[in-house]
Chain A
Amino acid sequence: MKKAVIARRFSQAFFLILFVYILWSTTYPLAGLLPPGTFFNIDPLLMIMTSLSSRVILPGFVVALGMLVLTLILGRFFCGWICPLGTSIDAVNLLRKQSSRKLSDAQNRVLSLPKFLILAAVGIAALLGRQIAWIFDPVVLMARFISLNLIPAVTASLNTFFIFLIRDLKFEGAVRDLYRSLKPTLLGVKTDFFSNAGVILAYFLAVVAVSLVISRFWCRSLCPLGALYALAGRFAPFRRVIDRCIKCQQCSNECRTGAIKKDLSYIRGECILCMDCIYTCPEQGIRFGFRGGASEPPSVAADDEPKGGISRKQFLVLLASSFAILGFRRTEGKSAAAVASGGGADIIRPPAALTENEFTDRCVRCGNCMKVCITNGLQPVMLETGYSGIWTPRLVPEIGYCEYQCTLCGRTCPTGAIPPLNLEQKLKIRLGTAEVDRSICLPWAEGKECIVCQEHCPVPEKAIILDREGPVGLGRPRISEELCVGCGICQNKCPVRPRRAIRVSPTGADRT
């Protein structure tokens, strides 16, 4: 019985299911058992780097530090036992033939270095006031995949399947009732769609698929959160203990992160506590504990600190800082799109989103706001606001408008990039201003009767006025710029195609 491995797998499965569950329940009416930001708030990379770059202390900061303290004692337990991305990688690894390419110590060392570089780059960027942790953080990477790819795909497939059963195979009664009862709960009332989600999927698949070539490649080589935990866990008192050894090197050969060297010493920072080596040892001479036994293999001297020490650290910092300054200098809204629109991007941001630079800086691209958006109107940005805006949310009124009395996005944002609002505050927040395009608006351009925009306007006093002057007494819509909150329901419901005759621009948006 591989008790420790079974326990680890159980833990991985538990946390993966929990992770998916939390994201699945990140939907109206937010009735999940745990807050939608749980996994992001315990992520020290996200919390520390975002706090650092925004010069604030995020609410999750203390918990995230707690995770680091735990790692100081236990080592990289998060990577092996909790990380949902690590679990996915392990799951894909099951497809792989067991015997992998055996890497030399030198190769393993080279493999382990880039993640520290990335961590240094992320850290220096944060010091300079730019948060780029979102690019490499495994938790948000996984969350984007689950929220924007997996859940929409599963609900769409299930929905299509049920429609097929009911409409084409004429199943009625129980199947129909099941379908109806699933819709408000498991399935969702409608299937969400996210534009350009294929890029998010491709990134995730690439990260997972590389591990088919080199096991846990992402975790041991690229993951900056792994690097942070590696630094914290390198002197962890909870460690691998060898009681008996015949120097067969089995543990070294099969170690999924290359943490065990050929001389059978091991690099604690690279060990993710997967517990495999306990059971690969033919002598059953390996255990994990706080004390006891000969802590190191009898043949070699203690050497569990990675080589180089301070000087290499300095080298890394130097390298990373040049990297950071060259590649990720703060753009200060100088992207082409921002310049074209005279500062600030020409896209509608979620209600009360921070000012543009602060917003792209604070946003960790976890996808929560887009997942929770009740109308599916919040969509991932691609390059519309330059590189610094990738995967931040924007409102696309053609797809979905901002529901007047809804406050979900702010309540699910883990970093306050979209501030949490109460209903009273939300009703006053402006996302932009609507504008009637008189060249295609039915009453204006064609003299036809239409009041759809005015009808749907949710502002109690109506921000759309129907002027009944003119020859036929036709109501022609006009915007009250004072009252308009820019929710975009007018644009969403406007029957004119392909271009809507009333459109919202971010003009006058309240950015806090």
Chain B
Amino acid sequence: MLNKKMSRKQFLKLLVSGLAVLPFSNQIFGNAAHSAQDSAGFNGRPKSGVKGDYDLVIAKGEDPFNMTVKAVESMGGMGRFVKKGAVVVIKPNIGWDRSPEQAGNTNPQVVAALADMAYKAGAKRVNIFDITCNDPRRCYANSGVEAAASAVGAKIYFPDDWDVVKASFGYASPMQGWPILKDAIECDTFINVPILKHHSLTRLTLSMKNLMGVCGGNRGLMHLNIGPKLVDLTRFINPDLTIIDAYRVLVRNGPTGGNLADVNMMKTIIAATDPVLADTYASQLVDVDPMAVSYLKAAAKEKFGSLDTETAKKIIIEV
């Protein structure tokens, strides 16, 4: 009886001391693994260089799921971007605790269509995530994206803010050292799926702005001189495919919205491989001069991507 008591005590002591050491484990084991990351040179996603059949595909219709499918088919099909066994990241905007009707987040049907196509093209795994502005649980649930994405088998999860890479460009960049989610970089295909909406600073939230959702750190500080930062962020992530959801468009009081009167039904989906071109077209769609959008202006200045929607090879399809 006495022996048994002692062993229990010892066990508890062991447990407590073990737990006490836990918080220091990173200091003990972690340093070696992390020091390698600080090396100079580009450590983002390499550019795939895959082009679509068109530079720009614009799908118009009633059903966002089918419009997305048709738009990607016109680009040459998902198989062009997703190889067999690929790990695919789809990055929608799920930043806000808003319903699909309020148009604060990417249309869940657009996300579901992309995930579905990626699996059909042979993807091993489709990851969907966003670092949200409101509580992540509420955003994932109320945006409808969680349910729609899970329904087609995609892995939608809350990203780990500790699992990041410190961005390095090989040149002096305003984004130097910014923490970027590792999951966003270590994937075979990156599909960026923003929603087109009004934004107080950049005029519009578009694909390049949507990439802020893979950034950690004090994101508020990114708004200082945001144009060049977003250009470098786009360079760092190198999205293979950009799909802009302009089905429901928040035209005032963005990026949060909340009032249905601020939402216009534009029933359009835009697809492109060049994020700058996609964003330029989207801003023209809502009659905003692309040069008034700070990051497009910065892209033009750095000759990053193309702002020329006139000479681009484009097609408008009715679905």
Contacts and interface: CB of A to CB of B under 8 A. Distances in A.
A283 interface: no
A355 interface: no
B97 interface: yes
B259 A460 contact: yes
A28 B140 CA distance: 13
A406 interface: yes
A180 B219 CA distance: 24
A163 B9 contact: no
B256 A403 contact: no
A374 interface: yes
Interface string A150-182: 000000010011011011110000000000100
A194 B35 CA distance: 33
Interface in B14-65: 19, 22-23, 25-26, 29-30, 33
B163 A456 contact: no
Given A403-B134, A460-B258, A164 B26 contact: yes
Given A455-B199, A455-B256, A168 B29 contact: yes
B255 interface: yes
A167 B163 contact: yes
B311 interface: no
A157 B16 CA distance: 11
A475 B137 contact: no
A246 B221 CA distance: 82
Nearest to A166: B163
A405 interface: yes
Interface stretch (A132-140, A324-332, A413-421, A444-452): A444-452
A160 B162 CA distance: 11
Contact of B22 (A157, A183, A454, A459): A157
Given A167-B162, A406-B135, A475 B221 contact: no
B225 interface: yes
B218 interface: yes
A397 to B, nearest CB: 14
Interface residues of B, number: 44
Interface residues of A, number: 45
B135 A450 contact: no
A94 B155 CA distance: 46
B224 interface: yes
A458 interface: yes
A202 B82 CA distance: 57
Nearest to B102: A460
A493 B138 contact: no
Contacts of B26: 163-164, 167-168
A282 B64 CA distance: 80
A475 B201 contact: yes
B8 A95 contact: yes
A189 B33 contact: no
Nearest to A457: B256
A29 B141 contact: yes
Contacts of A450: 201, 220, 223-224
A456 B29 CA distance: 39
A404 interface: yes
Interface in A471-512: 475, 493-495, 497
Residue of A167, A189, A406 ringed by the most chain B CB atoms within 10 A: A167
Interface in B178-234: 199-201, 218-221, 223-226
Given A456-B133, A495-B218, A168 B225 contact: no
26 contacts: A28-B137, A95-B5, A157-B19, A164-B22, A164-B26, A167-B26, A167-B33, A168-B25, A189-B135, A448-B224, A449-B226, A450-B220, A450-B223, A451-B200, A451-B223, A452-B220, A452-B223, A455-B256, A457-B256, A460-B257, A461-B253, A462-B253, A475-B201, A494-B220, A495-B219, A495-B221
Interface of B: 5, 8-9, 19, 22-23, 25-26, 29-30, 33, 97, 133-138, 141-142, 155, 157-158, 160, 162-163, 199-201, 218-221, 223-226, 253, 255-259, 262
Given A406-B135, A458-B258, A460-B257, 11 more contacts: A167-B33, A167-B162, A168-B26, A189-B137, A403-B138, A449-B201, A450-B201, A451-B201, A451-B223, A493-B220, A495-B219
